[in-house]
Structure 1
């Protein structure tokens, strides 16, 4: 496997030349003087070193060894505790945290690049701090001042980790039927009792305490989702002076034996009258949980993006070194027995497909992160627009990045041929690791339903029109740029296609209750390709004037051309699938399956 090298040039290009991030940061009061180009570049360079020198070397060994469970105690693979300590010493857990409680307050646009590097180097490791960050987000937004003062500083520094406890054996997507109960106590706390499964980082040996955010219901709570509350339940109780106290009634019953991410502890957790505290308002736990979902789902999408980048790096190195057959144009390296497989059109197709999907995905993750920053730090109408765009784009980012993540890792595996199927080269691990990203934090089918149902049909396309308006504004700004016409004209065509398909889905939903669900996955993929076209057009706009300065810029433009010519045409077939309606899905009788 190739040694991981962070794509710093691409990241800096996006931040500073495509999205002008430092200009945005300068006009948002909360970020003024906190984030600037010099700081961003230094942070990215330091994470690149950590990812390459500390996290990447324990990726394969962590997969080989996996986590261990014995009598309720979970231990992580060799090297993970030391790597986690190094991560925490660098202050990385505090990067996006609230400065009032020890965080650095950096923007998500920067955080998205950092997350990609961590995930490219070691997805299993990345899951531990990302769950802590998600718990911190929910606690910071909804916890009492007392809870925030007591828990956030330790969680930002990493000495205490976080876990999100949602799923139960009978309740995955449908959280409204959870059975975990919380009983109020005279001292204002609650006794939490129940079992949760698939809890990432539910127990481990990396931190001295683990702070669980648990969904549960009071005995008299309303039925369904409206009766869910959120509770903070620590593994160890915390004394008044902030020191670690006695063990709470929280135990790990087992860990899962999984297809991938084997160095990430996926736990079954038992709460046996554990002491907990309410976070937010009673019966509004889902609202509190969804505060962090936009960040977490983008984060899962970035896992797919990170795996794609790692796959691409592996495959390119292999394609340059592996010699097989001669180029169709004649020998390229006559002094050798054969040419590198990089000369063959089909190998180039596989590599360029990865490169184009990664570039579009990295740009879109930065674009979504931009709107997350405006939603968090902005004001007035701009803040409202940002919140709506984040709601719309989050399911696209989560599902499309991870669907394409699996595609990219499989393409990388195909470049390796038989060597991609054996453990020695490490490529098969990427295929196994990335597969879960399509499933957890809401399966990609659920993300597609969310996009078409809650985010489009429910508001009659209002959120969609905000996105379409942003794309149209860019198109209008480049209408006189003849050099960019090769990208702007097809982008305008594809935006119109997406508009028309959206209108037809909205109309069909009025007559057919199955219409949104029948269209959902193809619609999300159609949306994803058009969003990537928007991103590649913006990349081309920034790169074209500089193609004579540096081969990097010409590489960006040529990859944009490949995307528009070879990948974007898939929108035509996707639109036809959406327009096919629900009849062929729903007409087959159950007994005929």
Structure 2
């Protein structure tokens, strides 16, 4: 697999779209970070992902993980690559300097995550939950647990897992049965079975820290009775803890990632946070993970775009139709000249670059939410992050799979074979729509909790950001500003309608949620490209960046924004009840 990180577009987003350097200077934690330093970091990340991880992607998929006598062996080269990752200091990138982290902005970590997932999704699964686990322990663990286990996570010497799912409990974690019994020394004896645990056993690090949801003896029923416990693979006295891997899942994709069934047999663990408060502690980790999963979708889209673009420039088939001003037809043209292929390639480019701007925007708000000295600004940033997270997770992962499928079409029959990497990208991308809260759950979370739940307050904050772009764009005479303004009007007018229908019919918002989330995603894509067009409007007319961004913005508003009407119709059609498929 050949992968080259899109450093030019990453710089465009940081420098022009976000104007991140100006915000960093206003945040004490990042006051010494400038664009030059940021790009140096990303250039090193590009070198690691392109030269170390990408070459392992295909071989790791073909080889997969091996399970023998309770031990898991990752594909050849994975452990060596992980050691290079640790030696490069990448696990500490966005961690607190007071805890030996590097203290860099989370938006740079978002760019790193995109590169990791684009170059080798299976390998990146081992590291993907680490930052969320760091935040979880930093926020909720006792001082003793932090002192014992945070340094290993920050340095990369240990890797964590998130142990939620059980055979009978997937999305409904209230059905979990794992138990935790208190012991005299203040620890707990943890027993139960967990399923689909990414990195539950591997050979990248000696120790593995399992963050496990379980029930204490006095726990109430349902999700409110869950507690979070830290269960290490190895105890401080050098003994192996009673955590066992019973096998690996045989999967459609990400085959180099060890997806394990784990058995806890009175394993020793320690409570993280309050008893019965495990869900609040776990959600610190899950919210970080959901943003990272959204970045997986971006990584797949970028990998698919690069593969399809490179192939389309080389593959010659038939004569492309010519307009009168074009050069005479050749016997056979590169397929990127054919209109059908041009449309696919443009969609790949425009959606990928738009997702990058929006994904980094969400991460940038995370930085503001955690580091701003202004309480009002922190509150606003927190609202936006909460609203954007389910949109990024669900819409990006859906686009990652959809765009990989469209990219495969560019390859024709070759794309369906293992000769080219696009078939692996398609397989690897599918899981992201399911785990860390399925996309249907993300849609319900967005509409019922994040939009209707607070009376539309946070949604109004988001619309305020879009309207601010409309005003600046109109003042700058950006042609797309008026179209974005119309999007804002229609969204604002829709909300009272959705609220009224939800009061009349309690099932309505669940029927409408999927289309509502995609409607928001389409609106944000229009916002991303209206801002991109404004950012380049002042460049010289012969500047290639100006031409490309304006062409892409035009494609977005002409070819992709019409999705808004279909999605809006879906939200309104949901007022009609659905029949029961099984005749209940």
2:261 and 2:429 map into 1 onto residues whose CA distance is 22
| Partners of 1:93 and 1:157 within 8 A in 2 | yes
| Partners of 1:88 and 1:158 within 8 A in 2 | yes
2:528 pairs with 532, 535, 538, which one?
535
1:333 and 1:116 map into 2 onto residues whose CA distance is 39
1:107 and 1:330 map into 2 onto residues whose CA distance is 48
- CA-CA distance at 1:15 after TM superposition: 0.4
2:91 and 2:409 map into 1 onto residues whose CA distance is 36
1:373 pairs with 367, 370, 387, which one?
367
1:431 pairs with 426, 434, 444, which one?
426
1:216 and 1:105 map into 2 onto residues whose CA distance is 33
Taking structure 1 as the reference length, the TM-score comes to: 0.96
1:15 and 1:569 map into 2 onto residues whose CA distance is 28
- Equivalent positions of 1:141-220 (< 5 A) are 141-220=139-218
1:32 and 1:223 map into 2 onto residues whose CA distance is 47
SS in 2 for 1:247: coil
Deviations 1:278-311 (A, max 9, x none): 1111111110111122221110010010011011
Q: Which residue of 2 aligns with 1:347?
A: 341
Q: Which residue of 2 aligns with 1:100?
A: 98
1:225 and 1:216 map into 2 onto residues whose CA distance is 10
1:150 and 1:446 map into 2 onto residues whose CA distance is 35
Deviations 1:157-212 (A, max 9, x none): 11111111011111111111210111111111000100100101111000010011
1:416 and 1:547 map into 2 onto residues whose CA distance is 36
Q: Which residue of 1 aligns with 2:312?
A: 319
1:438 and 1:502 map into 2 onto residues whose CA distance is 26
Q: Which residue of 1 aligns with 2:4?
A: 5
2:37 and 2:127 map into 1 onto residues whose CA distance is 22
2:390 pairs with 388, 395, 400, which one?
395
1:541 and 1:23 map into 2 onto residues whose CA distance is 18
2:6 and 2:58 map into 1 onto residues whose CA distance is 21
- CA-CA distance at 1:480 after TM superposition: 2.3
CA RMSD of aligned residues (A): 1.5
Structure 1 alignment gaps of length 5 or more: 240-244
Q: Mark the CA change 1:136 to 1:428 in structure 2 (over 3 Å): closer, same or farther.
A: same
Q: Which residue of 2 aligns with 1:242?
A: none
1:553 pairs with 540, 546, 554, which one?
546
1:198 and 1:502 map into 2 onto residues whose CA distance is 38
Deviations 1:203-222 (A, max 9, x none): 10000100111111101111
SS in 2 for 1:195: strand
Structure 2 alignment gaps of length 5 or more: none
Mean Cα displacement is larger for which, 228-237 or 546-555? 546-555
SS in 2 for 1:275: strand
1:493 and 1:417 map into 2 onto residues whose CA distance is 39
- CA-CA distance at 1:335 after TM superposition: 9.6
SS in 2 for 1:199: strand
SS in 2 for 1:262: coil
SS in 2 for 1:219: coil
| Partners of 2:201 and 2:245 within 8 A in 1 | yes
Q: Which residue of 1 aligns with 2:122?
A: 124
2:408 pairs with 387, 409, 413, which one?
413
SS in 1 for 2:537: helix
1:394 and 1:561 map into 2 onto residues whose CA distance is 27
2:511 pairs with 509, 513, 518, which one?
518
Q: Which residue of 1 aligns with 2:445?
A: 450
Deviations 1:236-294 (A, max 9, x none): 0124xxxxx11000111111000000000001111100000111111111101111222
SS in 2 for 1:30: helix
Taking structure 2 as the reference length, the TM-score comes to: 0.97
Mean Cα displacement is larger for which, 438-447 or 551-560? 551-560
Deviations 1:89-120 (A, max 9, x none): 00001111122222112111111111111111
2:357 pairs with 339, 357, 363, which one?
363
Q: Please state if 1:441 is matched with 2:436.
A: yes
Aligned residues: 582
Q: Mark the CA change 1:253 to 1:340 in structure 2 (over 3 Å): closer, same or farther.
A: same
